[in-house]
Amino acid sequence: MVVFRTVLAALSIATAISRAAALPTPDLELDGKITGAGSTRALRVNLFSVERPYAESATVNRAGEFHFRALAPGNYTIAVVRNGLGEIRRTVVVSAAVADRSGVVHTTVPYSPSEAAANPSGGVVSVRQLAIPGNASAKYTEAQRRLAGRDPEGAVHSLEEAVAIAPHFSAAWNALGVIAFQTGDVQRAETCFRRSLAAEPGAFEPLVNLGGLLLKRNAFIDALLFNRTAVEERPGDALANAQLGMNYFKLNEFEEAERYLLAAKRLDPAHFSQPQLFLADIYARRGNRRAAIKELQDLLAIRPDGPLSDNIRRDLAHLMQ
């Protein structure tokens, strides 16, 4: 049996897989194009950094094009939102290795109304959310502006004011949890996600976030309930499938792990949780070198200069001996 030794990717939550060790210079740009949407009049694009507190929105022109400037290298989640319907999410890797000579990364996001309708977090507002006071909602909007301005401390201050006004403001508690996780305060993140779920028990974002956080804490049995429920609620969500696959992997249930990891890769091939790493490990354990090699080669094509690229190349050389 081939022993697969790649250091596995950090387990993921919502828009975060790890705390950034340093803040890279934000000198890259992203050009995107939405295909298959028909009219773009009701579309907007939100961009979230995976590794650090940052979120911004961009307009979409008639050709379905959008643009973001001054991006630090890393993983980003693109959410294409149609008002009143839902959203489509895809991961995009922003790095010098995948950018053109001008420092611009180009990406295409295929749009499907059925996929958007199955993921309503961007387009449906709950009854409890509608009951949030206007001044609390204004603080939440202010926090979003501060994140776009790369001011996470200011965003936290605004969100804390929002939940002080409206303690049942689930989205604000969830946002506080994400920022806490991204800045390394896992205990506070868990508290915030649990407050978010208590405020709105059916909310998907804190559910999947808490499942990912418990994975990071190696609480695999506790995490399983949350990750199973997340996939039951959103079978077409890449993050939910990735986390459930990783959860089963950590419990040594490799058949089930393979099922959900393959689903995550199909839904979002560049997903920031890097399901290819876990799949390669599973195939290597089975002695299927060819399948393991393909997963690692696919991952290197997406992230040629990623933080694990040297390890992956070393493992590839070992597998190909």
CATH code, domain with 93: 2.60.40.10
Closest by Cα among 85, 146, 189, 3 to 159: 146
For residue 251, the tally of other CB atoms under 10 A from its CB is 14
Q: Which of 101, 123, 145 is the last residue of a domain?
A: 123
Tokens standing for 172?
A: 């604000």
Residues 155, 195 within the same domain: no
List pLDDT tens digits, range 150-167.
Answer: 999 999 999 999 999 999
As a whole number of angstroms, the distance between CA 68 and CA 40 comes to: 18
Residues 198, 117 within the same domain: no
What are phi and psi for residue 254, nearest 5 degrees? -75, -30
Residues 154, 219 within the same domain: no
Residues 188, 309 within the same domain: yes
**Is 215 domain-assigned?**
yes
Count structural domains, the chain: 3
The per-residue pLDDT for 42 is 83
Q: Which of 167, 182, 197 is the last residue of a domain?
A: 182
The per-residue pLDDT for 98 is 96
> Which residue range(s) make up the domain with 173?
127-182
Strand 65-71 with 43-49, pairing: unpaired
**Is 12 domain-assigned?**
no
**Is 155 domain-assigned?**
yes
As a whole number of angstroms, the distance between CA 81 and CA 111 comes to: 10
Residue written as token pair 């419990």: 251
The per-residue pLDDT for 20 is 39
**Is 157 domain-assigned?**
yes
Residues 61, 140 within the same domain: no
Residues 187, 315 within the same domain: yes
Residues 139, 254 within the same domain: no
Contact 158, 152 (CB under 8 A): no
Residues 253, 168 within the same domain: no
**Is 11 domain-assigned?**
no
What are phi and psi for residue 310, nearest 5 degrees? -65, -45
Q: Which residues contact 223 (CB under 8 A, 6 or more apart)?
A: 211, 212, 214, 215, 243, 247
Tokens standing for 217?
A: 């804490």
**Is 203 domain-assigned?**
yes
For residue 234, the tally of other CB atoms under 10 A from its CB is 19
Sheet containing 65-71: order of strands: 65-71, 28-35, 104-110
Closest by Cα among 321, 320, 297 to 312: 297
Check which CATH number belongs to the domain holding 233 and give it. Answer: 1.25.40.10
**Is 114 domain-assigned?**
yes
Taking 50 as the pLDDT cut, the residues of the chain under it are: 1-22, 122-124
Residues 174, 149 within the same domain: yes
Residues 164, 235 within the same domain: no
The per-residue pLDDT for 84 is 74
Tokens standing for 159?
A: 């969100």
The per-residue pLDDT for 223 is 97
Residues 228, 209 within the same domain: yes
Residues 314, 211 within the same domain: yes
Read off the pTM: 0.89
Instruction: Determine the length of the chain.
Output: 321
Q: Which of 77, 94, 123 is the last residue of a domain?
A: 123
The per-residue pLDDT for 127 is 59
**Is 195 domain-assigned?**
yes
